Amino acid sequence: MSVDIVVNGQPQAAPEGQTILGLLHQLQLDPARVAVELDRRIVKQPRWSETVLEAGAKIEIVQFVGGG
């Protein structure tokens, strides 16, 4: 079973019980190089593995890019 969520403004389905960390792995994003906002609140990295995404969740993922 899956739940409908929104990631960076794009609707998508996530497996029921999916965590933020699981979503990052699914999207092939390096957890060390992103910040995550869930329903307009920043979620600190230590909580990603325990924060389950519920139906209707709105997630914003910002990637850090090096450069100069």
Q: pTM for the full model?
A: 0.91
CB burial of residue 5 (10 Å; 0-12, 13-18, 19+): buried
* C-alpha span between 35 and 43 (Å, rounded): 8
pLDDT in tens, 19-68: 999 999 999 999 999 999 999 999 999 999 999 999 999 999 999 887 76
Structural domains in the chain?
A: 2-63 (3.10.20.30)
